Copies of this chain bind each other. A is one copy, B any other.
Amino acid sequence: MADPSTSPPLTRASVFEARELIKGLVHHTPTLTNATLDRLASTPALVTEGDGDAGRKPAKPRMRLYFKCENLQRVGAFKIRGAFHALERLKREPGWEEGGGRERGVVTHSSGNHAQALALAARTHGIPAHIVMPSISAAPKIAATKGYGAKVVFSGSTSVEREAVVEKVIEETGARLVPPYDHPDIVLGQGTLGLELLEDSHDIIAAATGAEPSHAKNHGARPAESSFRAPITTPKFPESKKANAGLDAILAPCGGGGMLSGVALACEGTGVRVFGCEPWFEGADDAKRGYEAGKRVEAVSTLTVADGLRTPLGKVPWGIIYERRLVAGFYSVSEDEIIAALKLIYERFKMVVEPSSAVPLAVALFNEDFRALVEREGGEDGWDIGIVISGGNVNLEALGKLFAPKEA
């Protein structure tokens, strides 16, 4: 990975630059709407029994949701954006190519989407990739990573054991480390999905209200892929949206925070508020706790069903999210709420997504603090809310068990 000191400044303009660098290498994924989910989100009293909201008077928010479908992204997750951007920046690092950097390759430790993303991005550029995975990783994940041409190196399961193996690979091969989220180049790459979501949801609203399309207002000619957006249904809009066709807020899942902080950069100065969404099971809401206490929580140990969100917030994301206050706040949900939202996505939205991707919808449907905010600030007009669907890589067998009715 390029030395962070050579990274572009962490600004909205740098996210636009990142988009130029990875154009043609990643998909411009569709932004979709769904009338049933809008109706459910705008119905009071979906409150799950037994959590802290029991007995509380349900809020009556109005919401129109815009789903950014990164499950339809290459390798099935947004991670490919950061991986390609990291390599593009690395290629531009003075001396890297000449010093034999390409031959020495890249290395990371991941058993998830970042592993496959880096493997594919590296193969595309003819760069060797070493992926350190715990030897207990699921066979299909190992196979998929090898399928993208990476060299898989096994390690123990703890982060200490994994990092030791990474060090060894670096020593032996001279490969450059590409971390999964805690680096400016990764943050800027992931942020590109935020730009697409802002523009495409704006255009859906503009098409229905007669407001100006986003490119007229924001930044010249649109990329050709912008025709990929696909509103399945067009919601009814209040009169006020003619003047302001933009989103009011974006809900994004937060694990290590690379994507959330990138989206926050993409929204800087636009007036669109970005919120982080987490499970709270076994302390998985580390970002929320850290944000509220003013101190980053550095370790988490949780087995939340949202397995992409088990990681603590990284330092670079923390600077954007908390120190610069580019994220407006955090909301957390229970395991049951995540599974209920996940089931709705499968049954009503017909999209294959991983559990982590259901966390923002769970916040919109079930978190009474967030719902009360939308009622209070959105009023009769309601809010237009972007929902980041982060990925779609699931074990289909395990999914059946997740949806099975609980035994009494």
- Chain A residues proximal to chain B, CB less than 8 Å: 27, 29-30, 71-72, 76, 207, 227-233, 343, 346-347, 350-353, 392, 396-401, 403-405
Contacts and interface: CB of A to CB of B under 8 A. Distances in A.
Contact of A400 (B27, B227, B231, B399): B399
A320 to B, nearest CB: 29
B352 A346 contact: yes
A397 to B, nearest CB: 5
Given A400-B397, A400-B403, A403-B400, A350 B72 contact: yes
Contact of A397 (B230, B232, B403): B403
Identical chains in the assembly: 2
Contacts of A229: 230
A76 B344 CA distance: 13
Contact of A396 (B71, B76, B207, B343): B343
A344 to B, nearest CB: 11
A350 B71 contact: yes
Which 7 pairs of residues, A with B, have the shortest CB-CB distance?
A: A400-B400, A230-B230, A350-B392, A350-B352, A396-B403, A71-B350, A30-B230
Best-buried of A229, A230, A350, A400 by chain B (most CB within 10 Å): A350
Contact of A232 (B27, B343, B351, B399): B27
A76 B228 contact: no
Contacts of A76: 350
A232 B228 contact: yes
A350 B353 contact: yes
A39 B347 CA distance: 29
A401 to B, nearest CB: 6
A346 B396 contact: yes
Nearest to A30: B230
Given A207-B227, A230-B230, A352-B352, 16 more contacts: A27-B232, A29-B232, A30-B230, A30-B232, A76-B350, A227-B227, A228-B232, A229-B230, A343-B396, A347-B352, A347-B396, A350-B351, A351-B352, A396-B399, A396-B400, A400-B401
Contacts of A398: 400
Nearest to A400: B400
Contacts of A207: 227
A370 to B, nearest CB: 26
A42 to B, nearest CB: 17
A361 to B, nearest CB: 15
Contact of A233 (B27, B346, B347, B396): B27
